[in-house]
Structure 1
């Protein structure tokens, strides 16, 4: 069983347990559910966008502990000061050390840029949950979902006023997504089965995605010069987490990184 298969199997049990304890009605009645959303697409494509989606990540299955001392408040404030296009927050606890409380806390501070809930969505309940905790967008990983699930979950998110970052790693993943026009497509340079990183993935798949879609490169971006190169292939978004989080001051690291790409 791969790391990804373990995560998905665990996630399905975890979500089933939460669904049994928390009615959807309670989520819909939460204060965040009624708030207007910030558009991830607009944040990535506007004329002055840095394109950086800066992530808050404490740990990962491949790297272990990355940063267990930085607070969500300090990092969020630092990212906002750095003028990130958006913020990504991992809410998976068992494998990545994140919590839904992290996102809720960041939302109280971040009232200006989109927040992506980064998790392994295996049930529509998690999309309703994402809106209830204050997210503006959700991640749908094509490797983990069928074409029908991608379509249904994407429609549910849209109905709720949330945007979707569709994550792919292979041509097979891309083929599962119907009608690529105007969608936000993220190409993960990290193989979720082996957790190895290969930046050539973004470049190889970029030409298969129409220009009407917003292209995002994810994982393994550690040098500002990589951003310049990826922009030549039409990428407008760059999801970076570990490169910032492995430092003592992720917000400052983010500011220094962005200052080199402007």
Structure 2
């Protein structure tokens, strides 16, 4: 089976190098320094927003995926993220990878002044440069994927993210990656139910790892991908999760915000 993640990371390395040639790392650091000195608005805490929420929905803005192709090609960042907030989302995830997901940092820049929700920059982060970009664009948190990084690389990026005032969602896929939790200072620990090699989803992955995850970290737990019902969210909450990232289930509709509203209003069956 074709390993999509390897393709994405190879492309990302080339992409970041090209971006550095256009705007140097030191120049970007200076821009962030100026932002930090003049900014009056505090960062929004994604961890706190999820912990205090009754639903914990992280609604995702995503136009396409490597496995499904275009999901919502014409999706507008000035409409959908604020619509998600109005419909009851607790936080936002915005895809900023263009080659494979059809997103850009402009989507965060567009959405940021239109919503009070914390925004996660969801991308394949491999370099400090991308953290600086996230800070400048207005993100409140970043995703670090264990499958993309060594434990040491991940720990360094998490430290750099925190120095910029960004929270960290550390994404894990298997029990073997739980070792990252002892080294990486993560605010949130996410279990991705999507195999990043094949992009096949199986929400049972979150349940399989839940017990060991709770034992090894005090980070807020997030279940990502493959969730399609409030009943599943209820079961995941019982297993210890407090954040639930959903994208395609909303984005495939003509009005993702309305789809979220209906999702939250759906009857939750008692869990026995």
TM class, shorter-chain normalised?
Answer: over 0.9
Partner of 1:234: 240
Cα deviation, residue 172, structure 1: 1.8
2:155·2:185 contact (CA, 8 Å) conserved in 1?
no
Cα deviation, residue 67, structure 1: 0.5
Cα deviation, residue 178, structure 1: 2.2
1:44·1:85 contact (CA, 8 Å) conserved in 2?
yes
Cα deviation, residue 27, structure 1: 3.3
Please list, as runs of the form range in 1=range in 2, the aligned pairs for 1:78-117 lying within 5 A after superposition.
78-110=83-115, 112-117=116-121
For structure 2, the residue ranges without an aligned partner over 5 or more in a row are none
Partner of 1:201: 205
Please list, as runs of the form range in 1=range in 2, the aligned pairs for 1:138-217 lying within 5 A after superposition.
138-178=142-182, 183-210=187-214, 212-217=218-223
Partner of 2:266: 260
Matches of 2:54 and 2:46 in 1, distance apart?
11
Secondary structure of residue in 2 paired with 1:153: helix
Deviation readout 1:131-173 (Å, 9 max, x if unpaired): 0100000000000100001110000111111100000001122
Secondary structure of residue in 1 paired with 2:197: coil
Greater mean deviation of Cα atoms: 247-256 or 73-82: 73-82
Matches of 1:261 and 1:18 in 2, distance apart?
47
Cα deviation, residue 180, structure 1: 7.1
Q: 1:181 to 1:137 in 2, by over 3 A?
A: closer
Partner of 2:20: 19
Matches of 2:184 and 2:239 in 1, distance apart?
17
Alignment partner of 1:39 out of 27, 40, 45? 45
2:91·2:117 contact (CA, 8 Å) conserved in 1?
yes
For structure 1, the residue ranges without an aligned partner over 5 or more in a row are none
Deviation readout 1:77-114 (Å, 9 max, x if unpaired): 2101012110000000000000110010000201x210
